């Protein structure tokens, strides 16, 4: 529909241009007609809003704004030119049409880049509410700032809104990937909450694409982190030694693990005894946060993360109070303890928390084919370890991004598969695993691979 809108508005511009070149209107007449054209384009846009595919969300906000601004500008020019009887220059007529089409295209970029995505159909019995807060860790100063401020970790709650007040539910904590965002797997959070879980997705400031702090400032990803992650991610050519990679990635993991540990401890303290001075939220948000906190069963906690967040979940998952861990296509960097002879050494302690790894096709092959790879080692040492490869999937297919922005997902890594089927498969596995190990429902089994290109399991 965005393409159709662009075509219609462009046809109007080109038709107006041709007509004016052939008729040679005076400037005062041209500006009046320009005003009519701009108003007609706004009317077309508003009519198309009534149909699926075009709405007043962020995808079309810029388009609506520019259409209104152009009407205002046209009105000003029309009033200023009401006595100008000179013929409108043909070159300026062409230039006006070109500029108009470029403006339309630029302001439709969000509609071209992002899809009309409203989540997946929930299969649980509960409606889901959302809330957010910021947790301030007074034991850590923010290493990305030089003003002595404390580390802040935004948290976002997804929880059943119609539970019995006496119910307590398992807590799931999610950690996003590098340059990720707390909503990267929102369909997963919604699905879990609809089945009776309290899900808390946190932002890792300066590792996330963007977030906000307690002062309302937008915090974007650190350029240093961004560039180093890209360089290390593409270092298969041997540009960086294993020692250099370990030095950088271990610092990433230390920061992220501290964030998740802090969030878990703060949530448990709130569930057991109320809020402390780490909490920052508005009074308008308090009732929702109260409702979510009151539902948390601190004896049943699960962790999940994507990519670097999956690695974080695995290492934090060694805590005694964690009952289950899911790693979505993450290399377990936190389980590397150093480098010896150019080869990463791996934590020798058995992994006793039930662990599920859901991996893209190529990552699955690495785990199956490289016995000394960190994920392979940890899975072998796991008391209850499961790994499944999604055939046809790539890295970003284990998130909602391909459904939210197919363009971005293709550039970051998305396979030629049914993306809806893929994330539904992921969410189904996640739900069955947590149901088994957090709610004690049934047993958990998973095949070695799931073929997303046709063969169901």
Dist CA 183 CA 254 (whole Å): 23
* CATH number of the 128-451 domain: 3.40.50.1820
The dihedrals phi and psi of 149, each to the nearest 5 degrees, come to -70, 155
Contact present, 385 and 378 (Cβ < 8 Å): yes
Q: What is the mean pLDDT of the chain?
A: 91
pTM across the whole model: 0.87
Tens of pLDDT, residues 303-341: 999 999 999 999 999 999 999 999 999 999 999 999 988
Percent of the chain with pLDDT over 90: 70
Tens of pLDDT, residues 389-419: 999 999 999 999 999 999 888 888 889 999 9
Contact present, 249 and 232 (Cβ < 8 Å): yes
Tens of pLDDT, residues 110-152: 888 888 888 899 999 999 999 999 999 999 999 999 999 999 9
How open is the CA angle 442-448-449, to the nearest 5 degrees?
110
Dist CA 54 CA 130 (whole Å): 25
State the pLDDT at residue 455. 56
Rounded to an integer, the average pLDDT of 91-98 is 90
Dist CA 388 CA 446 (whole Å): 7
């Amino acid at each position: 529909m965005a393409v159709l809108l662009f075509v219609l508005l462009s046809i109007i511009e080109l038709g107006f241009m041709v007509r004016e070149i052939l008729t040679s209107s005076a400037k005062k007449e041209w500006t009046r007609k320009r005003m009519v054209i701009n108003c007609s384009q706004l009317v077309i846009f508003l009519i198309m809003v009534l149909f699926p595919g075009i709405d007043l969300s962020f995808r079309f906000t810029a388009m609506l704004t520019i259409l209104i601004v152009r009407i205002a500008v046209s009105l000003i020019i029309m009033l200023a030119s009401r006595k100008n009887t000179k013929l409108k220059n043909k070159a300026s007529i062409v230039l006006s049409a070109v500029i108009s089409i470029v403006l339309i295209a630029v302001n439709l970029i969000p509609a071209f880049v992002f899809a009309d995505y409203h989540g997946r159909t929930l299969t649980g019995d509960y409606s889901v509410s959302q809330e957010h807060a910021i947790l301030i860790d007074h034991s850590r100063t923010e290493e990305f700032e030089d003003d002595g401020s404390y580390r802040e970790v935004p948290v976002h709650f997804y929880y059943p809104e119609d539970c019995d007040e006496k119910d307590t539910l398992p807590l799931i904590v999610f950690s996003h990937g590098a340059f990720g965002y707390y909503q990267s797997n929102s369909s997963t959070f919604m699905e879990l909450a609809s089945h009776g879980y309290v899900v808390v997705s946190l932002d890792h400031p300066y590792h996330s694409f963007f977030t906000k702090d307690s002062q309302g400032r937008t915090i974007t990803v650190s350029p240093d982190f961004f560039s180093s992650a890209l360089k290390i991610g593409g270092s298969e050519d041997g540009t960086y030694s294993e020692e250099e990679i370990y030095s950088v990635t271990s610092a990433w993991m230390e920061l992220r693990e501290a964030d998740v540990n802090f969030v878990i401890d703060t949530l448990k303290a709130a569930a057991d005894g109320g809020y402390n001075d780490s909490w920052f939220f508005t009074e308008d948000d308090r009732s929702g946060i109260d409702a979510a906190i009151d539902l948390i069963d601190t004896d049943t906690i699960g962790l999940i993360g994507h990519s670097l967040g999956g690695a974080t979940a695995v290492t934090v998952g060694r805590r005694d109070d964690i009952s289950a861990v899911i790693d979505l296509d993450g290399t377990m960097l936190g389980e590397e303890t150093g480098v010896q002879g150019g080869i990463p050494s791996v934590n020798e302690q058995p992994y006793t928390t039930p662990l599920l790894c859901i991996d893209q096709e190529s990552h699955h092959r690495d785990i199956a084919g490289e016995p000394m790879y960190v994920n392979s080692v940890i899975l072998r040492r796991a008391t209850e370890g499961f790994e499944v490869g999604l055939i046809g999937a790539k890295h970003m297919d284990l998130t909602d991004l391909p459904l939210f922005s197919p363009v971005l997902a293709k550039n970051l890594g998305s396979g030629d598969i049914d993306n809806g089927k893929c994330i539904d498969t992921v969410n189904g596995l996640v739900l069955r695993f947590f149901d088994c190990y957090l709610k004690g429902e049934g047993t958990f089994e998973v095949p070695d691979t799931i073929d997303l290109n046709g063969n169901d399991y």
